[in-house]
Chain A
Protein backbone atom coordinates (compact mmCIF):
# COMPACT_ATOMS: atom_id res chain seq x y z
CA UNK A 1 0.00 0.00 0.00
CA UNK A 2 1.19 3.49 -0.76
CA UNK A 3 0.15 4.92 2.60
CA UNK A 4 1.19 3.20 5.77
CA UNK A 5 -1.55 3.02 8.40
CA UNK A 6 -0.47 3.35 12.00
CA UNK A 7 -2.12 1.61 14.91
CA UNK A 8 -3.54 4.97 15.95
CA UNK A 9 -5.16 5.49 12.57
CA UNK A 10 -6.46 1.97 12.62
CA UNK A 11 -8.08 2.52 16.00
CA UNK A 12 -9.75 5.67 14.66
CA UNK A 13 -11.27 3.83 11.72
CA UNK A 14 -11.61 0.43 13.33
CA UNK A 15 -15.29 0.67 14.12
CA UNK A 16 -16.16 1.53 10.53
CA UNK A 17 -13.86 -1.22 9.27
CA UNK A 18 -15.47 -3.78 11.54
CA UNK A 19 -18.94 -2.71 10.46
CA UNK A 20 -18.00 -2.89 6.78
CA UNK A 21 -18.67 0.78 6.06
CA UNK A 22 -15.14 2.16 5.71
CA UNK A 23 -14.64 3.54 2.16
CA UNK A 24 -12.44 1.72 -0.33
CA UNK A 25 -8.94 3.12 -0.06
CA UNK A 26 -9.07 3.49 3.70
CA UNK A 27 -10.36 -0.06 3.93
CA UNK A 28 -7.58 -1.45 1.83
CA UNK A 29 -4.93 0.38 3.81
CA UNK A 30 -6.43 -0.67 7.12
CA UNK A 31 -6.59 -4.31 6.08
CA UNK A 32 -2.98 -4.17 4.92
CA UNK A 33 -2.10 -2.95 8.41
CA UNK A 34 -4.07 -5.77 10.00
CA UNK A 35 -2.05 -8.24 8.03
CA UNK A 36 1.04 -7.29 10.01
CA UNK A 37 -0.37 -6.18 13.38
CA UNK A 38 -1.75 -8.86 15.67
CA UNK A 39 -2.89 -6.39 18.31
CA UNK A 40 -5.00 -4.45 15.85
CA UNK A 41 -6.38 -7.68 14.42
CA UNK A 42 -7.58 -8.67 17.85
CA UNK A 43 -9.04 -5.21 18.35
CA UNK A 44 -10.96 -5.43 15.07
CA UNK A 45 -12.12 -8.94 15.84
CA UNK A 46 -13.63 -7.68 19.08
CA UNK A 47 -15.38 -4.85 17.27
CA UNK A 48 -16.60 -7.30 14.66
CA UNK A 49 -18.13 -9.39 17.40
CA UNK A 50 -19.95 -6.27 18.51
CA UNK A 51 -21.20 -5.76 14.96
CA UNK A 52 -22.33 -9.38 14.76
CA UNK A 53 -24.04 -8.95 18.10
CA UNK A 54 -25.92 -5.89 16.90
CA UNK A 55 -27.29 -7.80 13.93
CA UNK A 56 -28.22 -10.52 16.37
CA UNK A 57 -30.43 -8.05 18.23
CA UNK A 58 -32.74 -7.78 15.26
CA UNK A 59 -36.02 -9.51 15.95
CA UNK A 60 -36.99 -12.63 14.09
CA UNK A 61 -39.90 -12.57 11.71
CA UNK A 62 -42.00 -15.26 10.10
CA UNK A 63 -41.54 -15.47 6.35
CA UNK A 64 -44.55 -15.91 4.07
CA UNK A 65 -46.43 -19.19 4.02
CA UNK A 66 -44.73 -21.75 1.83
CA UNK A 67 -41.27 -20.24 2.14
CA UNK A 68 -39.86 -23.22 3.99
CA UNK A 69 -41.09 -25.69 1.40
CA UNK A 70 -39.92 -23.63 -1.57
CA UNK A 71 -36.43 -23.10 -0.24
CA UNK A 72 -35.98 -26.67 0.96
CA UNK A 73 -37.05 -27.95 -2.45
CA UNK A 74 -34.58 -25.62 -4.15
CA UNK A 75 -31.75 -26.84 -1.93
CA UNK A 76 -32.61 -30.47 -2.48
CA UNK A 77 -32.78 -30.06 -6.24
CA UNK A 78 -29.52 -28.16 -6.27
CA UNK A 79 -27.90 -30.94 -4.27
CA UNK A 80 -29.11 -33.52 -6.73
CA UNK A 81 -27.73 -31.48 -9.59
CA UNK A 82 -24.37 -31.10 -7.94
CA UNK A 83 -24.13 -34.76 -7.13
CA UNK A 84 -24.96 -35.56 -10.72
CA UNK A 85 -22.25 -33.29 -12.01
CA UNK A 86 -19.72 -34.70 -9.59
CA UNK A 87 -20.54 -38.23 -10.60
CA UNK A 88 -20.20 -37.41 -14.28
CA UNK A 89 -17.41 -34.89 -14.37
CA UNK A 90 -15.44 -35.20 -11.19
CA UNK A 91 -14.87 -31.96 -9.37
CA UNK A 92 -17.33 -29.75 -11.17
CA UNK A 93 -18.11 -27.54 -14.07
CA UNK A 94 -15.49 -24.88 -13.58
CA UNK A 95 -12.60 -27.23 -14.04
CA UNK A 96 -13.72 -28.21 -17.49
CA UNK A 97 -12.76 -24.79 -18.71
CA UNK A 98 -9.15 -25.54 -17.83
CA UNK A 99 -8.69 -28.89 -19.48
CA UNK A 100 -7.13 -27.33 -22.56
CA UNK A 101 -4.13 -25.08 -22.52
CA UNK A 102 -6.26 -21.99 -23.14
CA UNK A 103 -9.37 -21.67 -21.00
CA UNK A 104 -12.53 -20.61 -22.74
CA UNK A 105 -13.32 -16.93 -22.45
CA UNK A 106 -17.02 -17.26 -21.73
CA UNK A 107 -16.62 -19.92 -19.09
CA UNK A 108 -13.83 -18.01 -17.48
CA UNK A 109 -16.00 -14.95 -17.15
CA UNK A 110 -18.71 -17.00 -15.57
CA UNK A 111 -16.23 -18.44 -13.15
CA UNK A 112 -14.82 -15.03 -12.39
CA UNK A 113 -18.26 -13.69 -11.69
CA UNK A 114 -18.91 -16.55 -9.32
CA UNK A 115 -15.65 -15.86 -7.55
CA UNK A 116 -16.41 -12.17 -7.24
CA UNK A 117 -19.88 -12.99 -5.97
CA UNK A 118 -18.53 -15.30 -3.34
CA UNK A 119 -16.20 -12.61 -2.10
CA UNK A 120 -18.78 -9.90 -2.38
CA UNK A 121 -20.96 -11.72 0.08
CA UNK A 122 -18.22 -12.44 2.49
CA UNK A 123 -17.58 -16.12 2.09
CA UNK A 124 -13.89 -15.63 1.51
CA UNK A 125 -13.76 -13.27 4.42
CA UNK A 126 -15.33 -15.76 6.76
CA UNK A 127 -12.37 -17.96 6.07
CA UNK A 128 -9.80 -15.30 6.89
CA UNK A 129 -11.60 -13.47 9.66
CA UNK A 130 -14.83 -11.78 10.33
CA UNK A 131 -13.40 -8.30 10.02
CA UNK A 132 -12.22 -9.08 6.55
CA UNK A 133 -15.55 -10.65 5.90
CA UNK A 134 -17.30 -7.40 6.62
CA UNK A 135 -14.77 -5.60 4.55
CA UNK A 136 -15.47 -7.76 1.56
CA UNK A 137 -19.16 -7.83 2.10
CA UNK A 138 -20.41 -4.50 0.92
CA UNK A 139 -17.87 -2.25 -0.74
CA UNK A 140 -19.36 1.23 -0.95
CA UNK A 141 -17.34 2.15 -4.01
CA UNK A 142 -17.54 0.66 -7.48
CA UNK A 143 -15.04 -1.92 -8.60
CA UNK A 144 -12.26 -0.93 -10.92
CA UNK A 145 -13.56 -1.71 -14.39
CA UNK A 146 -10.07 -1.64 -15.87
CA UNK A 147 -8.78 -4.38 -13.62
CA UNK A 148 -7.27 -7.60 -14.91
CA UNK A 149 -8.06 -11.16 -14.12
CA UNK A 150 -5.44 -13.86 -14.03
CA UNK A 151 -6.25 -17.52 -13.81
CA UNK A 152 -4.41 -20.76 -13.49
CA UNK A 153 -5.01 -24.41 -13.00
CA UNK A 154 -3.95 -25.87 -9.69
CA UNK A 155 -2.06 -29.11 -10.10
CA UNK A 156 -0.76 -31.68 -7.70
CA UNK A 157 2.98 -32.08 -7.33
CA UNK A 158 3.23 -35.68 -8.55
CA UNK A 159 5.01 -36.65 -11.75
CA UNK A 160 1.82 -36.52 -13.82
CA UNK A 161 0.75 -33.20 -12.26
CA UNK A 162 -2.88 -34.17 -11.64
CA UNK A 163 -5.53 -31.47 -11.75
CA UNK A 164 -6.33 -30.09 -8.31
CA UNK A 165 -8.63 -27.14 -8.93
CA UNK A 166 -8.22 -23.60 -10.15
CA UNK A 167 -7.23 -20.20 -8.87
CA UNK A 168 -8.13 -16.68 -9.94
CA UNK A 169 -6.30 -13.48 -9.12
CA UNK A 170 -7.96 -10.16 -9.74
CA UNK A 171 -5.69 -7.15 -10.12
CA UNK A 172 -7.80 -4.15 -9.36
CA UNK A 173 -9.32 -2.15 -6.58
CA UNK A 174 -9.93 -4.19 -4.62
CA UNK A 175 -7.66 -7.00 -5.70
CA UNK A 176 -8.55 -10.50 -4.67
CA UNK A 177 -7.77 -14.14 -5.13
CA UNK A 178 -10.21 -17.00 -5.19
CA UNK A 179 -9.65 -20.68 -5.57
CA UNK A 180 -11.53 -23.91 -5.65
CA UNK A 181 -9.47 -26.89 -4.59
CA UNK A 182 -10.07 -30.57 -5.18
CA UNK A 183 -7.05 -32.50 -4.09
CA UNK A 184 -9.15 -35.62 -3.72
CA UNK A 185 -9.19 -36.01 -7.48
CA UNK A 186 -5.42 -35.66 -7.38
CA UNK A 187 -5.24 -38.53 -4.93
CA UNK A 188 -4.72 -36.36 -1.85
CA UNK A 189 -7.86 -36.48 0.32
CA UNK A 190 -6.28 -34.04 2.77
CA UNK A 191 -8.33 -32.72 5.68
CA UNK A 192 -7.02 -29.79 7.65
CA UNK A 193 -5.66 -26.30 7.29
CA UNK A 194 -3.66 -25.39 4.23
CA UNK A 195 -1.76 -22.21 3.50
CA UNK A 196 -1.79 -20.24 0.28
CA UNK A 197 1.39 -18.50 -0.82
CA UNK A 198 1.64 -16.29 -3.86
CA UNK A 199 4.86 -16.41 -5.82
CA UNK A 200 6.48 -13.43 -7.49
CA UNK A 201 8.67 -13.38 -10.55
CA UNK A 202 11.69 -12.43 -8.42
CA UNK A 203 11.36 -15.71 -6.54
CA UNK A 204 9.90 -14.27 -3.35
CA UNK A 205 6.65 -15.50 -1.86
CA UNK A 206 3.96 -13.92 0.27
CA UNK A 207 1.64 -15.89 2.50
CA UNK A 208 -1.91 -14.68 2.04
CA UNK A 209 -3.79 -16.90 4.44
CA UNK A 210 -4.99 -20.32 5.45
CA UNK A 211 -8.23 -22.16 4.96
CA UNK A 212 -9.65 -25.58 5.69
CA UNK A 213 -9.95 -28.49 3.31
CA UNK A 214 -12.27 -31.38 3.92
CA UNK A 215 -11.34 -34.57 2.12
CA UNK A 216 -9.19 -32.47 -0.17
CA UNK A 217 -12.06 -30.22 -1.12
CA UNK A 218 -12.73 -26.55 -0.41
CA UNK A 219 -13.17 -22.99 -1.62
CA UNK A 220 -11.40 -19.91 -0.38
CA UNK A 221 -10.91 -16.30 -1.28
CA UNK A 222 -9.27 -13.24 0.18
CA UNK A 223 -8.68 -9.63 -0.64
CA UNK A 224 -5.06 -9.07 -1.53
CA UNK A 225 -3.01 -6.71 -3.65
CA UNK A 226 -2.37 -8.39 -6.98
CA UNK A 227 0.32 -7.06 -9.29
CA UNK A 228 -0.04 -8.90 -12.60
CA UNK A 229 3.46 -7.85 -13.66
CA UNK A 230 5.11 -9.69 -10.78
CA UNK A 231 2.65 -12.43 -9.82
CA UNK A 232 3.92 -15.69 -11.23
CA UNK A 233 2.17 -18.43 -9.34
CA UNK A 234 0.72 -19.86 -6.18
CA UNK A 235 1.52 -22.68 -3.82
CA UNK A 236 -0.72 -24.54 -1.40
CA UNK A 237 1.00 -26.16 1.54
CA UNK A 238 -0.10 -28.34 4.42
CA UNK A 239 0.46 -27.40 8.04
CA UNK A 240 3.91 -29.03 8.02
CA UNK A 241 4.97 -27.12 4.91
CA UNK A 242 4.49 -29.91 2.41
CA UNK A 243 3.58 -28.52 -0.98
CA UNK A 244 0.26 -30.02 -2.03
CA UNK A 245 -0.50 -28.07 -5.18
CA UNK A 246 0.98 -25.36 -7.34
CA UNK A 247 -0.27 -22.97 -10.01
CA UNK A 248 1.43 -20.86 -12.65
CA UNK A 249 -0.47 -17.81 -13.80
CA UNK A 250 -1.18 -16.76 -17.31
CA UNK A 251 -3.22 -13.75 -18.34
CA UNK A 252 -6.81 -14.83 -18.74
CA UNK A 253 -8.49 -11.74 -20.19
Chain B
Protein backbone atom coordinates (compact mmCIF):
# COMPACT_ATOMS: atom_id res chain seq x y z
CA UNK B 1 0.00 0.00 0.00
CA UNK B 2 2.66 2.48 0.97
CA UNK B 3 4.75 1.52 -1.99
CA UNK B 4 1.97 2.65 -4.22
CA UNK B 5 1.83 5.95 -2.47
CA UNK B 6 5.57 6.45 -2.35
CA UNK B 7 5.92 5.76 -6.04
CA UNK B 8 3.03 8.03 -6.68
CA UNK B 9 4.80 10.87 -4.86
CA UNK B 10 8.09 10.23 -6.56
CA UNK B 11 6.57 10.46 -10.00
CA UNK B 12 4.08 13.14 -9.04
CA UNK B 13 1.24 10.92 -10.12
CA UNK B 14 -2.00 12.81 -9.63
CA UNK B 15 -4.01 10.96 -7.01
CA UNK B 16 -7.18 11.76 -8.89
CA UNK B 17 -6.05 9.32 -11.58
CA UNK B 18 -5.36 6.42 -9.25
CA UNK B 19 -7.48 3.33 -9.98
CA UNK B 20 -10.27 2.78 -7.49
CA UNK B 21 -8.60 -0.27 -5.97
CA UNK B 22 -5.29 1.51 -5.44
CA UNK B 23 -7.06 4.45 -3.88
CA UNK B 24 -8.89 2.16 -1.50
CA UNK B 25 -5.65 0.46 -0.54
CA UNK B 26 -3.94 3.78 -0.12
CA UNK B 27 -6.42 4.88 2.52
CA UNK B 28 -4.48 2.83 5.04
CA UNK B 29 -1.56 5.26 4.76
CA UNK B 30 -3.63 7.89 6.51
CA UNK B 31 -2.78 10.45 3.88
CA UNK B 32 -5.33 13.28 3.89
CA UNK B 33 -5.16 13.83 0.13
CA UNK B 34 -5.96 10.20 -0.57
CA UNK B 35 -8.84 10.29 1.89
CA UNK B 36 -10.32 13.40 0.31
CA UNK B 37 -9.91 11.96 -3.16
CA UNK B 38 -11.55 8.70 -2.14
CA UNK B 39 -14.54 10.42 -0.56
CA UNK B 40 -14.85 12.90 -3.43
CA UNK B 41 -14.85 10.12 -6.00
CA UNK B 42 -17.59 8.05 -4.40
CA UNK B 43 -19.67 10.38 -2.24
CA UNK B 44 -22.17 11.15 -4.99
CA UNK B 45 -22.90 7.45 -5.51
CA UNK B 46 -22.90 6.49 -1.85
CA UNK B 47 -25.11 9.35 -0.76
CA UNK B 48 -27.41 8.65 -3.70
CA UNK B 49 -28.03 5.11 -2.50
CA UNK B 50 -28.57 6.25 1.08
CA UNK B 51 -31.02 9.01 0.20
CA UNK B 52 -32.93 6.82 -2.25
CA UNK B 53 -33.53 4.15 0.36
CA UNK B 54 -34.14 6.36 3.39
CA UNK B 55 -35.59 9.54 1.91
CA UNK B 56 -34.10 11.32 4.92
CA UNK B 57 -31.16 13.65 4.20
CA UNK B 58 -29.82 13.62 7.76
CA UNK B 59 -30.05 9.86 8.05
CA UNK B 60 -28.57 9.48 4.58
CA UNK B 61 -25.60 11.62 5.55
CA UNK B 62 -24.99 9.47 8.61
CA UNK B 63 -25.21 6.33 6.52
CA UNK B 64 -22.88 7.70 3.87
CA UNK B 65 -20.31 8.61 6.49
CA UNK B 66 -20.59 5.17 8.09
CA UNK B 67 -20.14 3.62 4.67
CA UNK B 68 -16.82 5.33 4.14
CA UNK B 69 -15.63 4.53 7.64
CA UNK B 70 -16.51 0.86 7.25
CA UNK B 71 -14.91 0.69 3.84
CA UNK B 72 -11.74 2.18 5.25
CA UNK B 73 -11.76 -0.17 8.23
CA UNK B 74 -12.30 -3.27 6.11
CA UNK B 75 -10.42 -2.26 3.00
CA UNK B 76 -8.11 -5.25 3.32
CA UNK B 77 -10.93 -7.71 2.70
CA UNK B 78 -12.08 -5.99 -0.45
CA UNK B 79 -11.70 -8.49 -3.28
CA UNK B 80 -11.79 -7.05 -6.79
CA UNK B 81 -12.82 -10.44 -8.18
CA UNK B 82 -16.17 -9.99 -6.43
CA UNK B 83 -16.94 -6.67 -7.98
CA UNK B 84 -15.85 -3.10 -8.35
CA UNK B 85 -15.09 -0.73 -5.51
CA UNK B 86 -18.22 1.18 -6.48
CA UNK B 87 -20.35 -1.94 -6.15
CA UNK B 88 -18.72 -2.79 -2.83
CA UNK B 89 -19.43 0.68 -1.48
CA UNK B 90 -23.00 0.75 -2.72
CA UNK B 91 -23.60 -2.65 -1.17
CA UNK B 92 -22.33 -1.41 2.18
CA UNK B 93 -24.40 1.77 1.91
CA UNK B 94 -27.49 -0.16 0.88
CA UNK B 95 -27.13 -2.62 3.75
CA UNK B 96 -26.69 0.19 6.24
CA UNK B 97 -29.67 2.05 4.84
CA UNK B 98 -31.93 -0.99 4.92
CA UNK B 99 -30.93 -1.71 8.48
CA UNK B 100 -31.56 1.90 9.46
CA UNK B 101 -35.05 2.07 8.04
CA UNK B 102 -35.98 -1.31 9.47
CA UNK B 103 -35.14 -0.07 12.92
CA UNK B 104 -36.91 3.25 12.51
CA UNK B 105 -40.10 2.68 10.57
CA UNK B 106 -42.85 0.08 10.58
CA UNK B 107 -43.25 0.62 6.83
CA UNK B 108 -40.05 1.00 4.84
CA UNK B 109 -41.58 2.91 1.95
CA UNK B 110 -44.27 5.44 1.17
CA UNK B 111 -46.47 4.72 -1.88
CA UNK B 112 -45.44 7.86 -3.70
CA UNK B 113 -41.77 7.10 -3.05
CA UNK B 114 -42.14 3.63 -4.50
CA UNK B 115 -43.67 4.84 -7.74
CA UNK B 116 -41.14 7.65 -8.02
CA UNK B 117 -38.24 5.29 -7.50
CA UNK B 118 -39.60 2.84 -10.04
CA UNK B 119 -39.69 5.73 -12.48
CA UNK B 120 -36.12 6.69 -11.66
CA UNK B 121 -34.65 3.24 -12.19
CA UNK B 122 -36.43 2.85 -15.50
CA UNK B 123 -35.50 6.30 -16.74
CA UNK B 124 -33.33 5.86 -19.84
CA UNK B 125 -31.72 9.07 -20.95
CA UNK B 126 -29.45 8.59 -23.91
CA UNK B 127 -26.23 9.38 -22.10
CA UNK B 128 -26.87 6.61 -19.57
CA UNK B 129 -27.50 4.11 -22.29
CA UNK B 130 -24.26 5.05 -23.98
CA UNK B 131 -22.24 5.17 -20.81
CA UNK B 132 -22.91 1.69 -19.46
CA UNK B 133 -24.35 -0.96 -21.65
CA UNK B 134 -25.06 -3.49 -18.90
CA UNK B 135 -26.82 -0.91 -16.76
CA UNK B 136 -28.75 0.34 -19.77
CA UNK B 137 -29.92 -3.16 -20.62
CA UNK B 138 -30.91 -3.78 -17.02
CA UNK B 139 -32.74 -0.48 -16.85
CA UNK B 140 -34.61 -1.25 -20.04
CA UNK B 141 -35.49 -4.71 -18.78
CA UNK B 142 -36.93 -3.28 -15.58
CA UNK B 143 -38.97 -0.84 -17.65
CA UNK B 144 -40.44 -3.72 -19.62
CA UNK B 145 -41.62 -5.60 -16.55
CA UNK B 146 -45.32 -5.63 -15.79
CA UNK B 147 -45.90 -2.88 -13.26
CA UNK B 148 -46.78 -5.23 -10.42
CA UNK B 149 -43.53 -7.13 -10.95
CA UNK B 150 -41.56 -3.91 -11.12
CA UNK B 151 -43.07 -2.75 -7.84
CA UNK B 152 -42.31 -6.06 -6.14
CA UNK B 153 -38.78 -5.94 -7.48
CA UNK B 154 -38.13 -2.43 -6.20
CA UNK B 155 -39.65 -3.20 -2.83
CA UNK B 156 -37.43 -6.26 -2.39
CA UNK B 157 -34.22 -5.11 -4.02
CA UNK B 158 -34.10 -1.44 -3.05
CA UNK B 159 -36.16 -1.26 0.13
CA UNK B 160 -35.23 -4.72 1.41
CA UNK B 161 -38.83 -5.81 1.96
CA UNK B 162 -39.52 -9.50 2.43
CA UNK B 163 -42.10 -11.29 0.31
CA UNK B 164 -44.44 -11.28 3.29
CA UNK B 165 -44.08 -7.50 3.67
CA UNK B 166 -44.74 -7.06 -0.03
CA UNK B 167 -47.79 -9.32 0.19
CA UNK B 168 -49.13 -7.26 3.09
CA UNK B 169 -48.34 -4.00 1.32
CA UNK B 170 -49.93 -5.01 -1.98
CA UNK B 171 -52.72 -6.97 -0.32
CA UNK B 172 -51.91 -10.10 -2.27
CA UNK B 173 -51.17 -13.70 -1.21
CA UNK B 174 -47.64 -14.48 -0.09
CA UNK B 175 -47.20 -16.90 -2.98
CA UNK B 176 -48.08 -14.20 -5.45
CA UNK B 177 -45.52 -11.85 -3.97
CA UNK B 178 -42.83 -14.51 -4.15
CA UNK B 179 -43.77 -15.30 -7.73
CA UNK B 180 -43.56 -11.65 -8.74
CA UNK B 181 -40.09 -11.30 -7.25
CA UNK B 182 -38.89 -14.55 -8.76
CA UNK B 183 -40.32 -13.88 -12.20
CA UNK B 184 -38.95 -10.36 -12.37
CA UNK B 185 -35.50 -11.45 -11.27
CA UNK B 186 -35.51 -14.31 -13.76
CA UNK B 187 -36.22 -11.90 -16.60
CA UNK B 188 -33.46 -9.57 -15.51
CA UNK B 189 -31.02 -12.45 -15.12
CA UNK B 190 -31.79 -13.52 -18.66
CA UNK B 191 -31.16 -9.99 -19.83
CA UNK B 192 -27.77 -9.80 -18.18
CA UNK B 193 -26.58 -13.29 -19.08
CA UNK B 194 -27.74 -13.35 -22.69
CA UNK B 195 -25.23 -12.31 -25.35
CA UNK B 196 -25.24 -8.61 -26.05
CA UNK B 197 -26.86 -7.57 -29.27
CA UNK B 198 -24.71 -5.80 -31.80
CA UNK B 199 -21.41 -6.99 -30.40
CA UNK B 200 -20.19 -8.30 -33.69
CA UNK B 201 -19.15 -6.42 -36.73
CA UNK B 202 -18.50 -3.16 -34.94
**A residues near B, CB below 8 A?**
12-16, 18-23, 46-47, 49-64, 67-76, 78-80, 82-83, 118, 120-123, 126-127, 129-130, 133-134, 137-138, 140, 211-212, 214, 217-220
B17: Cβ under 8 A from any A Cβ: no
B83: Cβ under 8 A from any A Cβ: yes
User: Bound state CA distance, A73 and B34, in angstroms?
Assistant: 11
Kindly report which residue of chain A lies nearest to residue B155, judged by CB atoms.
A21
A63 touches B64 (CB 8 A): yes
With A46-B193, A78-B69 already in contact, 9 other A-B pairs whose C-beta atoms are closer than 8 Å: A16-B182, A20-B95, A56-B135, A62-B47, A71-B39, A74-B69, A76-B30, A80-B30, A123-B70
Contacts of A217 on B, CB cut-off 8 Å? 76
Interface residues of B in 54-81 (CB under 8 A from A): 57, 60-61, 64-65, 68-70, 72-74, 76-79
A52 touches B40 (CB 8 A): no
Closest approach, in angstroms, between the C-beta of B25 and any C-beta of chain A?
9
A19 touches B156 (CB 8 A): yes
Closest approach, in angstroms, between the C-beta of B69 and any C-beta of chain A?
6
Given contacts A12-B178, A46-B193, contact A54 B68 (CB under 8 A): no
Of A79, A129, A138, the residue contacting B160 (CB under 8 A) is A138
Kindly report which residue of chain A lies nearest to residue B163, judged by CB atoms.
A16
B88: Cβ under 8 A from any A Cβ: yes
Closest approach, in angstroms, between the C-beta of B87 and any C-beta of chain A?
5
Given contacts A47-B189, A74-B65, contact A60 B48 (CB under 8 A): yes
Q: How many residues of B contact A (CB 8 A)?
A: 76
A21 touches B163 (CB 8 A): yes
A75 touches B181 (CB 8 A): no
User: Bound state CA distance, A27 and B28, in angstroms?
Assistant: 35
Closest approach, in angstroms, between the C-beta of A163 and any C-beta of chain B?
19
A122 touches B156 (CB 8 A): no
Contacts of A13 on B, CB cut-off 8 Å? 178
Can you list 11 pairs linking A and B with CB atoms under 8 Å apart? A20-B160, A21-B156, A52-B83, A57-B138, A58-B120, A60-B45, A61-B47, A63-B44, A71-B65, A79-B28, A123-B70
Interface residues of B in 83-119 (CB under 8 A from A): 83, 86-88, 90-92, 94-96, 98-99, 102, 117
B135 touches A53 (CB 8 A): yes
B32 touches A72 (CB 8 A): yes
B185: Cβ under 8 A from any A Cβ: yes
Contacts of B163 on A, CB cut-off 8 Å? 16, 21
Given contacts A57-B142, A58-B48, A60-B45, contact A140 B77 (CB under 8 A): no
B186: Cβ under 8 A from any A Cβ: yes
**B residues near A, CB below 8 A?**
27-32, 35-36, 38-40, 43-45, 47-49, 51-52, 57, 60-61, 64-65, 68-70, 72-74, 76-79, 82-83, 86-88, 90-92, 94-96, 98-99, 102, 117, 120-121, 134-135, 138-139, 142, 153-154, 156-158, 160-164, 178, 181-182, 184-186, 188-189, 192-193
Of A15, A23, A57, the residue contacting B139 (CB under 8 A) is A57
B44 touches A60 (CB 8 A): yes
B61 touches A58 (CB 8 A): no
Contacts of A219 on B, CB cut-off 8 Å? 74, 76-77
User: Bound state CA distance, A31 and B99, in angstroms?
Assistant: 21
Contacts of A52 on B, CB cut-off 8 Å? 83, 87, 90-91
User: Bound state CA distance, A18 and B52, in angstroms?
Assistant: 20
Contacts of A46 on B, CB cut-off 8 Å? 189, 192-193
Kindly report which residue of chain B lies nearest to residue A50, judged by CB atoms.
B188
Of B32, B47, B82, B160, the residue contacting A67 (CB under 8 A) is B47
When A and B form their complex, which 10 residue pairs have the shortest distance between CB atoms, in order from nearest?
Answer: A79-B30, A15-B185, A60-B48, A60-B44, A137-B95, A63-B47, A72-B35, A61-B48, A57-B121, A72-B36
Contacts of B95 on A, CB cut-off 8 Å? 20, 120-122, 137-138
User: Bound state CA distance, A153 and B9, in angstroms?
Assistant: 39
Contacts of A19 on B, CB cut-off 8 Å? 156-157, 160, 181, 185
Of B39, B40, B178, the residue contacting A75 (CB under 8 A) is B39
Of B40, B64, B76, B160, the residue contacting A214 (CB under 8 A) is B76
